[in-house]
Amino acid sequence: MHPFEYLRPRDLAAAVGESATGNYLAGGMTLLPSMKLRLTSPEKLIDLSGLPDLVGIQADSAAVVIGAMTRHAEVAASAEVRRLIPALAALAGGIGDPLVRNRGTLGGSLATNDPAADYPGALLGLGGTVVTDRREIAGDEFITGMFSTALEPGELIVRVKFPVARRAAYVKFPSPASRYAMVGVFVAETATGVRVAVTGAAACAFRLTAFEAALQKAFAVESLEGLGVSGDGYNQDLHGSAEYRASLVPVMARRAVAAALAR
């Protein structure tokens, strides 16, 4: 790791004020390993753990609002999230491993936007909204590419709003080593229609409109009969080819619909 200056500001404005020359540090589950490998070398780390306003879960019958610094383990264990959006609690409970879930945060995961991360699937699948220090960004606009988002330089995620879905489920095929999603599919029947989001398969999470249209007619596993994806531009790596990931997408989608109906 290259040397850096370390700051732990006590208020949001101070944190954002330092951001021109620094990187935010949330849970550190991606940033610290990247720094150890010298893939990234920030001059200054702005530790967000001194900002209690960024932690916590608030819920009503319409939406679950989760602070950016809320750890995955807290989301997974939250009685309110489990009751209102059980698919979101289950997703958080399947990220990485328990040790990662005890440190990793919602805001950190979304700001990093790893192509194989789980939370981007929930953001798109539930039609969530990212609230930053300066504006609200719809989930559909937030995710822009591999490791890239609509966040401006220095823009800080404060919390994320997830609308309560009528029913929803997330099913992933995890890499047996890292638990990252080879392919994960989030299916939700929401107030504004059915949403199907895929993570892990391509450069970033995306929606499957053909699957959504089929499920809009009838929310049933049979509705997905015969539907597939081409796999053009999908990820290929030592864990699997683009074709393999493409073959997983309809399978995970059917399992997610079955799981949503079983809830």
Partner 1 sequence: MTVDVSLQVNGKAVSAAVDPRTLLVELLRQQLKLTGTHVGCDTSQCGACVVHVDGRAVKSCTMLAVQAEGSSVVTIEGLAQGNTLHPMQEAFRACHGLQCGFCTPGMIMSAVDLLQRNPNPTEAEIRHGLEGNICRCTGYQNIVRAVSTAAAKMRGDSAAA
Q: What sections of 118-169 are H helices per DSSP? A: 119-126, 139-142
Point out which residues bind partner 1 (CB under 8 A): 1-6, 8, 25, 28-29, 32-33, 36-37, 45, 47, 49, 73, 77, 96-100, 102-103, 177-179
CA distances for 176 relative to 101, 122, 181, 199, 240, angstroms: 17, 21, 9, 16, 12
Looking at residue 212, its amino acid is E
Minimum CB distance to partner 1, residue 180 (Å): 12
CB of 93 to partner 1, least distance (A): 9
Q: Please state the separation of Cα 221 from the chain's center in Å.
A: 24
- Closer residue to partner 1, CB minimum distance, 1 or 138: 1
Smallest separation, CB 212 to partner 1 (Å): 31
Q: Kindly give, in sequence order, each residue whose CB lies less than 8 Å from that of residue 147, ignoring residues fewer than 6 positions away.
A: 112, 113, 114, 115
Q: Tell me the one-letter amino acid at 159.
A: R
CB-nearer residue toward partner 1: 6 or 209: 6
Minimal distance, residue 178 CB to partner 1, in Å: 8
* CB of 77 or CB of 151, closer to partner 1: 77
> 28 or 163, CB closer to partner 1?
28
List b or e across 37-69, with b for residues whose CB sees 16 or more CB atoms inside 10 angstroms: eeeeebeebbbbeebeebbebebeeebbbbbbb
Nearer to partner 1, 5 or 222 (CB): 5
State the nearest-atom distance from the C-beta of 221 to partner 1, in Å. Answer: 25
